Structure 1
Amino acid sequence: MSYRPIISNVEEASNNEKDGLYEFIFYLADGTECRTFYNRYPEWKMTNITRLQKTPCPVCRKDFICRCMESFRDNLQQQVIDNEWLEKAIVK
């Protein structure tokens, strides 16, 4: 069975509105948390994603730094677009 990340919540961690740079925390349904960086101009684009070190990686089971979430970038980005997560996080 392959891993399928599902976003359950998004929270804005920080921003630099002048340059259009934003940092968000993605809370996934399995308890994993990821830090993502976005550039707003000319349109929203994910520039980086990393797993926060609170739980072992659901893919490789390592409890230290890994790059597994990079392979799910397109899937997560599509969920963000479909559910308008960034707009909801900025409004809060």
Structure 2
Amino acid sequence: MEYQYPIDYHWTTDETITVIHFFEAIEKAYEKGIEREELMAAYRRFKEIVPSIAEEKKLCGEFEEMSGYSSYRTIKKAKEAGSGDKIMMK
């Protein structure tokens, strides 16, 4: 797809990579599925960089607007899933 990931230019390179990795995990959930543990690990690392709920909503909203992939719905489904489940979004 042709879009850019929402990033904050105040982040370090490592922080930017962590956030991009999270959004790639969301893409993977939509495109081919992802193991729940892998997705939740990416989300936990993302939350270390973006602890604010307001900032998370802003970034995830921008990502959804550009990609069509909902981080909120994906994480919600992962939280409801059991350990060892594969997360597949439609």
TM-score by length of 1: 0.32
Greater per-residue strand proportion: 1
Higher gyration radius (CA): 1
Question: Normalising by the residue count of structure 2, what TM-score does the alignment of the two structures yield?
Answer: 0.32
Higher-RCO chain (CA-CA 8 Å, sequence separation at least 6): 2
Q: Which structure has more helix as a fraction of its residues?
A: 2
